[in-house]
Amino acid sequence: MTIPVIANGEIWDYQSAQACMQATGCDAVMLGRGALNIPNLSRVVKYNEPRMPWPQVVQLLQKYVHLEKAGRYRFIPRLPVSNSGSATCAKSIRKPLSCLPRSAR
């Protein structure tokens, strides 16, 4: 029985995936934060395609938000509503937003 080894960490493009696989000898790479920042990262890594341009990412996000508001998806976390004020809400969304480029925050 063989068990595939999968590496993860700082995979942002084709070159970083290839370098990771060469350095570790792994069978495959797993995408993490990069996939939240670059929607087509799997194609970038697998086929060496260019990253999706930021205006196209914004259009994709707007379409997704529209579907969320229409109730078709339930993936956006609901913010906590409490008497503790906006500081609590701000803290709860910091981590999900940390994967976005600074220009989008």
The pLDDT assigned to 70 comes to 77
For residue 102, what pLDDT is reported?
Answer: 58
Domain borders along the chain are: 6-47, 54-100
pLDDT, mean of each 10-residue run, the chain (105 residues): 91 95 95 87 95 90 81 60 56 61 54
The pLDDT, as a whole number, for residue 105 is 47
Give the per-residue pLDDT at 62: 87
pLDDT for residue 91: 62
Gap between the Cα atoms of 53 and 79, Å rounded: 29
Kindly report the pTM of this predicted structure.
Answer: 0.61
| Neighbour-count burial of 14, counting CB atoms closer than 10 A to its CB (0-12 exposed, 13-18 middle, 19+ buried) | middle
